[in-house]
């Protein structure tokens, strides 16, 4: 692993987790990138506004630590367009477990005790929170998130920018569409379409949602 410093884009709870992950992995944190310079007393390194960060013309490594999937997607697209030399780091906690045959995309964050089983594929800029499990042959598309304790059975498909809530479980072979939110502790036993919010066990759709609609 390189010792190049990594910029953390974001300044909320996920950003704090990313800073801790990097420090425990022995990799330096270059600083925080945020839209507001106030309220970040917890961090003792450099803090820069995103507008200034976008003007950097040197090779830069960053990770987008924004919990909301739609905002994470927007930040990635905007930064990549503004910064041709930007590279995205992939952060894997020392306590995470990743099978040798699993695939992890760039910009993805795996927190402590996250598990990615054999033949599973995790896309770009995905966040797998503490203790979440992705079983064999499952696919998690770009910008999706699994909250702490979420579990995907084997052969599950989670669409782009979807969110699987705290402690939710998804049965083997189930597909979840893009931009869908599964509520906390839900049990998903059948396929879910794109752009919906689903809760309960078995999970049922309670409403539709628009692409990029904020939920965190």
pLDDT digits (tens, 9 = 90+) for 89-113: 999 999 999 999 999 999 999 999 9
In the chain, which segments carry CATH 3.40.50.20? 6-89
Helix (H) or strand (E) holding 127: strand 127-128
d(CA 192, CA 213): 18
Verify whether residue 136 is a known catalytic residue: yes
User: Which residue is catalytic, options 40, 125, 136, 204?
Assistant: 136
Cβ-contact 63, 107 below 8 angstroms: yes
Residue 38 binned pLDDT confidence (cut-offs 50, 70, 90): confident
Q: pTM above 0.85? A: yes
Segment 128-138 shows an average pLDDT of: 99
Q: What is the CATH number of domain 92-203?
A: 2.160.10.10
Which one-letter DSSP state was computed for residue 81? H
pLDDT > 50? residue 1: no
Torsion, Cα of 90, 179, 98, 19 (10° steps):
40
d(CA 149, CA 97): 14
Segment 192-196 shows an average pLDDT of: 98
Torsion, Cα of 97, 29, 8, 57 (10° steps):
-130
> Fold for domain 6-89?
Rossmann fold (3.40.50)
Segment 117-138 shows an average pLDDT of: 99
Segment 20-39 shows an average pLDDT of: 94
In the chain, which segments carry CATH 2.160.10.10? 92-203
d(CA 58, CA 46): 17
Cβ-contact 179, 161 below 8 angstroms: yes
Radius of gyration of the chain (CA): 17
Give the total residue count for the chain. 216
């Amino acid at each position: 692993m390189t010792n190049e410093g990594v910029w953390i884009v974001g300044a909320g709870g996920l950003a704090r987790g990313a800073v801790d992950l990097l420090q425990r992995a022995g990799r330096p944190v270059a600083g925080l990138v945020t839209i507001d310079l106030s309220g970040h007393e917890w961090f003792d390194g450099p803090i820069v506004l995103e507008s200034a960060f976008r003007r950097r013309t040197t090779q830069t490594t960053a990770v987008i630590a924004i919990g909301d999937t739609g905002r994470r997607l927007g930040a990635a697209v905007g930064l990549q367009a503004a910064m041709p030399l930007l590279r995205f780091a992939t952060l894997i906690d020392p306590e995470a477990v990743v099978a040798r045959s699993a695939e992890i995309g760039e910009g993805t964050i795996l927190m402590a005790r996250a598990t990615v089983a054999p033949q599973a594929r995790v896309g770009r800029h995905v966040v797998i929170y503490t203790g979440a499990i992705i079983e064999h042959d499952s696919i998690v598309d770009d910008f999706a998130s699994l909250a702490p304790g979420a579990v995907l059975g084997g052969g599950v498909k989670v669409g782009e920018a979807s969110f699987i809530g705290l402690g939710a479980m998804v049965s083997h072979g189930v597909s979840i569409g893009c931009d869908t939110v599964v509520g906390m502790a839900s049990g998903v036993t059948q396929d879910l379409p794109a752009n919906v919010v689903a809760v309960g066990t078995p999970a049922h759709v309670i409403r539709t949602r628009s692409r990029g609609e904020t939920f965190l």
